[in-house]
A and B are shown apart, each in its own frame.
Chain A
Amino acid sequence: MNFSFAQKIKLGLKASLVLAVGSLPFNLAAQTSVNEDQITFVRLTAQQYRNSIRDIFGESIEVNGNAASIGVREAGLMAVGGRRLSLSASEVESYEVLALDIASQVLSPKRRNTLIACRPQDENAIDNACAGEFISTVGLHLFRRPLSEAEIENYSAMARAATDSLGGFYVGLQAALVGMMVSPEFLFRIERSTPNPETPGTRRLDAWSRASRLSYFLWDTTPNPSLLAAAQSGDLMFEDGLNQQVEHMVASPRIEDGLRAFFSDMLAFDRFDTLDIDTTLYPKFTKNVEDEAREQTLRTISDHLLNQEADYRDLFDSRKTFLTPALAALYGVPIPIRQEMGGRVPWVPYEYPENHIRVGLLGQATFLSLFSHPGASSPTLRGKAVREHLLCQTIPPPPGDVDFSLVRDTDNLEFRTVRDRLSEHRDNPTCAGCHMLMDPIGLALEVFDASGVYRTVENGAPIDTSGEWLGQEYDDVRELARMLKEDPTLTSCLVQRAYSYGTAREPTRAEVQWLNTTHSQLRSEGMRWQELMQRISRNPDFYTVPEAAPKEN
C-alpha cells in the first residue's frame, strides 16, 4: 500500500531511483529548471506536510505537532487560497522546531543505518562524499527535483559547519536536513514553468513540477520514485508517459488519500477545528462522536466512489453508510455490536431501511453539525452550505440595518418553529432574495437538530419540511435529495472544484469550456471519481500556468 522512500534511500545507489539520480545529468536538469524558469508556489497543507514526511522517511517518524496556520478559502477551496498565502514568523518558527525534531528522529542511532546508504569514515568528523550523497538523495525527495551542485554544496557546508561546531557527522547531517526542511523549496510546492511552445503567451510546468502537481492532486503527497523517474526521463512531458503514470496512480489504493483530502476541503471540514456543538444541550454529540462523524462521511464517500465505483450523484440519496455504536445511537438505529481487539473503533457497514428519512450526505451528522449554531440548527447556514459548497454558487453577505430579532423569538407563540420565524426574512424584500435561495433547503433538514438527531417537533409544533426546488415541490429531505442529484449544477460543481483543487487556481475561460464538455460527457457516462481524475490529469491544460491578471482591492 504505502511506498516508502526510506527503503529507496536505504537501497541508495543500488536502487533504480538512485541509480537514475546518480546517472542523471541533473546538474544540467537542475540548471535549466532553476535558472531560466519562472516560479509560482502553493503552501503545503498540514496534511501534505505529514504525508510527505511519512513517505520520505517512513511511517515510524512522528510528526509531533503542526505549525499553527490560517487557511483562506477562495473560489470555494482552501487549496486555491493556498496560492495566496505566505508563512508568518510564528509558522516558520514552528516548522523549524518541527524540523529539528524530525531530523533528530531520522538521524537517530536506531534509524540512521536504515535510512542512510553510506557510512562516514569517522563518525566524529565530516565525510564530504557521504554527506553529499545523503543531501542529494534526500533533497531530491524533499524538493521534488534534483538539487544543483551549488545547492548540494550549500547544504554540505551547513553539515560541515555543524560537525565542526558540535562534533559529530550525524549532527552535521541533522543541520543540513533542518536547512532543507525549512527551505521554501520544501514548505511550498514550487512550480516552475517555461514558455509554452504550443500556445504562445502561456507557460507550462516543467516535468518536476508536473510530477508534484499530479502527486499532490491524486495522492495528497510528494511524488513517488516512479513519478520522479518519469520526470527525470522527460516522459511526463509526453502524452504516453503522462497517461501511463496517471493510470497507475488512479488505480492505486493511494488514490483514497487524495479523495479524502479533496472532499475535506470541498465540504469545509476545516469547520471541525472550531465546531462547538453544546454538549449540555446535545449530550450525544461528544468529541468522539464528532470525530466519528467526520470519518463516517469520508468513509462513505470513499467506499461509494472508489470501492463501489458508483456515481457521485448517488451519494445524495444513498442509504448505505458506515456506523459505529455511538453514531448508531445518535441516529437512533440498531447495529450489531462487535468487540474488536486493541480498542479500535468498530465500523459497521450499514444500510438504512427503504424510505428511511436519513439518506445521503445531507443526512449525516457531519453536514448537519458543521452548519448549525452551537445550540440550534440553522436552516440558513445549511441552505447556504448546499448552495456554496455543493453547487458552487455564491450567496452575498447580509445587508446592514436589518433587524433579525424575530428569528429567535421563541416566546412568541405564533412563531414556534424556525420556519415561522424565518418567514419574516422571506417577506422582507431586503432579505428575501437570498433567503429564498437558502432557507427552503435548510428547512427540509429541520427534522435533524444541530447534532444530527432526528426530531419531528420544535417547541411542540410539528416540523414542516416541504418546499420547492426548481419548480418541483417536495415533502421532505428524501425528495429534495433526489431532485438535487438530478440538478446538473451539482455535478458541474464537482468537476470544477476538482480541477481548481488540482491546479490551486480558478479555471481560465478556455479551461471552463473543457470542463463543460467533460461534465456533459461524464453526466451521460456516469460521474465516476476515477474517470474524472483521469480526465483532469491527462488534460495538457492542467499543467499550464495562466498569465497573472492584475489584482484589485
Chain B
Amino acid sequence: MISKNRKFNRRSLLRGAIHGSAVVMGLPILESFLNNNGTAFADGTELPPCFGSWFFGLGLTPGRWEPEVIGANYVLPEHIAALQPIREKLNIFSGLQIFLDGKVNQNHISGAQGQMTGIVTKSAADYDESFDAIIDKQFGANVRFRTLEVACDGNSSSGWTARGKNGKTPCQISPLELYRRIYGGGFIDPNRAEFTADPEVMVRHSVLSAVTDQRHKLMDTVSSDDRSRLDEYFTSLRDVEQKLAFELERPAPLPACSIPSISDEEIGTMVAQVQNTHKQFATLLSHALACGQTRIFHVTLGNAFSTLRLPGEPSAYHALTHEEPINPALGYQPKCKILGEQCMGFFVELLRAMDSIQEGEGTLLDRSIVYAFTDHGEARLHSMKNLPVFTVGSAGGRLKTGLHVAAEGDAATRVGFTIQKALGVVSNRWGSESNEVTTPFSEVLA
C-alpha cells in the first residue's frame, strides 16, 4: 500500500515474527567486506551482468541536453553536467521517439510505456510485459529476488515494470521496508564462514511447492480470458518458492558484499524528501546487487505526472511544465529546467553508489547496464519526439560506452532492444507496430 510523509526509525522495523517467536535483527554491519579480488566467484566464473531501469518524469529542456558532438568525445551540456563523474561510462541517445500509430496520446504514459514494453496501447489501463522481464528470463532464477522495484514519491503504483499483461508490478516506497526485506529474515551473508539451512524455511518452501501443485487443476477450469492472470500468479508463487530455495543454499562468497547502513526516512514529494529516499534506495539496491540478492532493479523517481516539488512552490513539477511561462530572455521554463537538473543529480547519485562498489579491477557499475528513460521529449507539449535516453555501464564489456548516438527519429525501443541484445536475449525483434525494431544500435554493441 501507499503511504506518504511517514517517518520511521530503523528499530521500529527491525522486528518480525515467524511462527510466533520474535526475530530481532542485528543492526547493520558497518565494516566493509570489500577487497580487490572480486571480479569472479572462487571457481573463476565471471560475476554476472546486472540490469537496472531508472525513470524520471517530464524529460529535460529541449535543445539543452543534447551534446553537439556525435559519437565519442562529446562534451556534456550544462543541463546534464551532473553526469560528469560517470561521463566515460555513459551513452547518450538523442533523436528518439515513440510512435502512437493513431492512438490517443495517453499523456505521460504512452511514452514510458512504449519504451519499457515496446507497445503503446489504446487504454492507459492496459500494460504489457516490460523488457526487464525478458531480461529476467534470460538471467534465470539464480538470485533471491528476481527483481526489486522502488518508487521515491511514496506511490507504489509509480513504476513501469510488469511481468505480463495483468497489471504493473508495485514498487516498494519505503527504504526501511526494503532494508528489512533484503537484510531481514532469510538473508545469508555470502562471506560468512558458517551456514546452516533453516528448517523453518524448508517447511515454508515445501508449503509453497504444494500450493504450486494446484496449478494444473485450476488451469484446466479457468476461462480463456483469465488463463494468463492465473499463470502469472503461479509464476509469482514460484518466484517466492525459488527465493526460499535460495535461502536454503550456501551462497558463493562475494567479497564486495556488505550490509549498508541507512538513516531515518521521510517519504514525500518535496525535492529533499525524494532525494533522500532515492539516495537510500540507491545504497540498498547497489548493495543488494553486490551481495547477489538480485540482478535486476527498477527505480522510479515519481509517477507519470511527477509530483516532485520545489520548496515554497505551490505547483508540482507536472503542473509547472504546463503552467510555467517560458522566460523570453532565457528561452525556457526556468523552474522546470532546475527540476530536470535535480533529476540528473539524483541519477548520478545512484550511479556513483554502484561505481563505488569495487569488484576487483572494475566496479559494480561496470558489470551493469542502467537504462534511464522518461515520458516526453517536451513535457510542456506532451511531445513524444527527441526523448532523452541514457545508458550507463557496459555490463562487463558487452556495451561500448562514452558515446552520443544521434538517432534520426528512430523508435526509442531500439535502445531497449540493444540492451536486450547486449545481455544475451535471443530475439530478432521487439515491440509492435511502428515501435517494433529489428536492428539494435550496433555502434554501441561491443
CB-CB contacts of B372-398 with A at 8 A, as 1s and 0s? 000000001111100000000000000
Contact A276 B307 (CB under 8 A): yes
Chain B residues near A41 (CB, 8 Å)? 222, 226, 229-230
Contact A276 B4 (CB under 8 A): yes
Chain B residues near A40 (CB, 8 Å)? 222-223, 225-226
Closest to A97 in B: B16
Known: A276-B307, A403-B380, A548-B223. A89 touches B146 (CB 8 A): yes
Chain A residues near B224 (CB, 8 Å)? 548
In the A-B complex, list the 5 residue pairs whose CB atoms are closest, starting with the nearest: A375-B314, A408-B323, A273-B2, A404-B322, A89-B239
Known: A85-B167, A281-B314. A274 touches B155 (CB 8 A): yes
Contact B269 A400 (CB under 8 A): no
Chain A residues near B223 (CB, 8 Å)? 38-40, 548
Contact B381 A274 (CB under 8 A): no
Closest to A92 in B: B236
Chain A residues near B167 (CB, 8 Å)? 70, 72, 84-86, 88
Closest to B311 in A: A280
Chain B residues near A171 (CB, 8 Å)? 19
Interface size class of A (residues with CB under 8 A): 35 or more
When the two chains form the complex, which single residue of A38, A274, A374 contacts B222, counting CB atoms closer than 8 Å?
Answer: A38
Chain A residues near B164 (CB, 8 Å)? 86
The CA of A157 and the CA of B380, in the complex, are separated in Å by 61
Q: Does B125 contact A (CB under 8 A)?
A: yes
Closest to B107 in A: A397
Chain B residues near A175 (CB, 8 Å)? 203-204, 206-207
Chain A 260-280 interface residues, beta-carbon cutoff 8 Å to B: 273-276, 278, 280
Q: Does A535 contact B (CB under 8 A)?
A: no
Chain B residues near A320 (CB, 8 Å)? none
Shortest CB-to-CB span from B218 to chain A, Å, is 7
A-B pairs with beta carbons under 8 Å apart, 26 shown: A40-B226, A41-B226, A66-B1, A68-B1, A68-B171, A70-B157, A70-B168, A85-B166, A86-B228, A86-B229, A87-B233, A89-B169, A92-B233, A96-B208, A104-B18, A175-B207, A273-B1, A276-B5, A276-B154, A278-B309, A376-B319, A397-B104, A397-B107, A404-B322, A405-B325, A551-B225
Chain A residues near B147 (CB, 8 Å)? 89
Contact A68 B156 (CB under 8 A): yes
Contact A154 B232 (CB under 8 A): no
Shortest CB-to-CB span from A365 to chain B, Å, is 17
Contact A184 B199 (CB under 8 A): no
Known: A402-B381, A408-B323, A553-B119. 16 other contacts (CB 8 A): A84-B229, A89-B146, A89-B235, A93-B243, A104-B19, A154-B213, A158-B210, A165-B203, A178-B204, A179-B210, A184-B218, A185-B214, A274-B2, A400-B384, A406-B325, A408-B324
Chain A 34-58 interface residues, beta-carbon cutoff 8 Å to B: 34-35, 37-41, 46
When the two chains form the complex, which single residue of A161, A376, A552 contacts B122, counting CB atoms closer than 8 Å?
Answer: A552
Contact B218 A179 (CB under 8 A): no
Contact B226 A407 (CB under 8 A): no
Q: Does A69 contact B (CB under 8 A)?
A: yes
Q: Does B255 contact A (CB under 8 A)?
A: no
Chain A residues near B206 (CB, 8 Å)? 158, 161-162, 175
Q: Does B211 contact A (CB under 8 A)?
A: yes
Query: How many pairs of A and B residues are in contact by the CB < 8 Å rule?
Result: 251
Closest to A41 in B: B226
The CA of A100 and the CA of B207, in the complex, are separated in Å by 11
Q: Does B216 contact A (CB under 8 A)?
A: no
Chain B residues near A188 (CB, 8 Å)? 233
Q: Does A309 contact B (CB under 8 A)?
A: no
The CA of A66 and the CA of B1, in the complex, are separated in Å by 6
Contact B1 A46 (CB under 8 A): yes
Chain A residues near B149 (CB, 8 Å)? 90
Shortest CB-to-CB span from B252 to chain A, Å, is 23
Known: A38-B222, A40-B225, A92-B233. A104 touches B20 (CB 8 A): yes
Contact B172 A68 (CB under 8 A): yes
Q: Does A108 contact B (CB under 8 A)?
A: yes
The CA of A532 and the CA of B261, in the complex, are separated in Å by 56
Q: Does B419 contact A (CB under 8 A)?
A: no
Chain A residues near B213 (CB, 8 Å)? 154
When the two chains form the complex, which single residue of A100, A278, A400 contacts B314, counting CB atoms closer than 8 Å?
Answer: A278
